[in-house]
Amino acid sequence: MPQLEQVEFFISQLFWLGVFFVILFTVLTYITLPKIRAFLNQRDDFVKSHISKQDELIKKAESIIENYEAKLTEAKNQASQIINDAKDKALKESEDLIKATEEKIQHEIKQTEERVAKEKDTAISELNDQLKDSATNFLSKVTNIEKGNINL
């Protein structure tokens, strides 16, 4: 087995192993690994900063949503208030109108009734006068008494 037979190369192998291992270790420790670590850290920082920024934005968005919802409820309340007011007003107005109209109608009915009654009275009195006239005429003709002397 050459591993155990070629004893004369042991020192050579140990020497070159030492040389290359030390070179590799030194360069990796002082140049390569710090470079890789810096690169990875940079990326981690970038991601972390973006995550914190994202959290901030989420908080902002949440506050905006809250604000929006508060405003929306306020607007809704206002709208329902306006609607109620308008309803009340309309109702009152229509009631007033109905009342006024009813009053007017009542008034007109009363007036008409009064007029009718008056007209009835006049008609009756006229009829009375006419009847009186014709009765007087009739009587004067029948009795030959002067019209002016007949008093019914």
Partner 1 sequence: MAKGESPLKQFEIQPIVDINFLGFDISFTNSALWMTITTAFILIFFTVPFLKVKKTNSVSDLYPTRMQVAAELGFNFINSLLADTVGKEGKKYFPLVFTLFMFILFGNLFGMIPYSFTFTSHIIVTLALAMGVFIFVTVLGFVKHGVKFFSFFVIPGLPVYMLPLLIPIEIISYLSRPISLSVRLFANMLAGHTLLKVFAGFVSALGFFGILPLVFIIALTGLEILIAFLQAYVFAILTCLYINDALHLH
Listing DSSP states for 49-110 in one string gives HHHHHHHHHHHHHHHHHHHHHHHHHHHHHHHHHHHHHHHHHHHHHHHHHHHHHHHHHHHHHH
Residue 51 touching partner 1 (CB under 8 A) = no
Residues 97-136 within binding reach of partner 1 (CB under 8 A): none
64 Cα distance to chain centroid = 19
Q: How far is the CB of 57 from partner 1 (least distance, A)?
A: 17
Q: Is 35 in the site for partner 1 (CB under 8 A)?
A: yes
Q: Does 146 bind partner 1 (CB under 8 A)?
A: no
3-state secondary structure of 98: helix
- Choose which of 32, 63, 111, 125 interacts with partner 1 (CB under 8 A): 32
Cβ distance to partner 1 smaller for residue 31 or 123: 31
How far apart CA 90 and CA 97 sit, in angstroms, is 10
Q: How far is the CB of 60 from partner 1 (least distance, A)?
A: 22
Report d(CA 136, CA 142) in Å as an integer.
10
Among the listed residues 24, 72, 97, 98, the single contact to partner 1 using CB under 8 A: 24
Nearer to partner 1 (CB atom), residue 47 or residue 123? 47
Instruction: Tell me how crowded residue 107 is: count the other CB atoms within 10 A of its CB.
Output: 10
Which residues are at the interface with partner 1 (CB under 8 A)? 1-4, 6, 8-18, 20-21, 23-25, 27-29, 31-33, 35-40, 42-43, 46
